[in-house]
Amino acid sequence: MSEPLADQVKTLLAAPRPWSVTQVGEAVLRRPAERYDGQLPDDLLALLLDAMREHLPGVGVGIAAPQLGIPLALAVIDDPAQVSPEVAAARERAPRAPLDLINPVVTPVGEERVAFYEGCLSVRGLTAVVSRSRRVVLTASDRTGAGYSQELTGWAARIAQHETDHLNGVLYLDRAELRSLSTTAAYEEHWAAPTPALAAAALGF
């Protein structure tokens, strides 16, 4: 019998920080997460979401519960967008306040798509170009159970799509242009331009 979810969360919260994020190859990353329906006491849910946010500075801009071994439809986003003005403009990336995503659904707005390099805390050491919808509507609930809906554009829309994918058992590699696949070191040496145009010309995608 598997450990009750509340006990899994308590074990995670008691683990040394920073957490070791679950890596590709583990089944929890490939199963649709269980819809959140009050499986955790409210105070434990809040502790988990706060701890997930606290994990992000310096390592990422979003994380989903399955990446921590917790198979619930929960994620957080927190993007300070500490990038150059040129990168911010090309990628439509602006600082965002922390956001809780509980049972999120992302719906594309229009047909426009944009392609940029992405990475993932669960695919350590690699990055690849992914085409995603430029604009989406994010519908979710917050930690109090209140529903909300936001229209997101650019990088914020990309993060929401990436994290919602995690809750559906999908990794960015499933959507990636494989000829763009690079180690993080190679990307930073050769392809860390505001857009992937140079990489596309050189790598043939």
Q: Is 148 labelled a binding residue?
A: no
**Torsion angles phi and psi, residue 121, rounded to 5:** -65, -20
Q: Is residue 190 marked as binding? A: no
Question: 81-93 as b/e, with b when 16 or more CB fall inside 10 Å?
Answer: eebeeebbebbbb
Q: What is the helix (H) or strand (E) element at residue 197, kind and residue range? A: helix 197-203
Instruction: Give the integer Cα–Cα distance in Å for 155 and 132.
Output: 10
Among all residues, which ones are annotated catalytic? Answer: 163
Q: Terminus-to-terminus CA distance in the chain, angstroms?
A: 47
Give me the residue label for tokens 């989903």: 64
Binding residues for Fe cation: 120, 162, 166
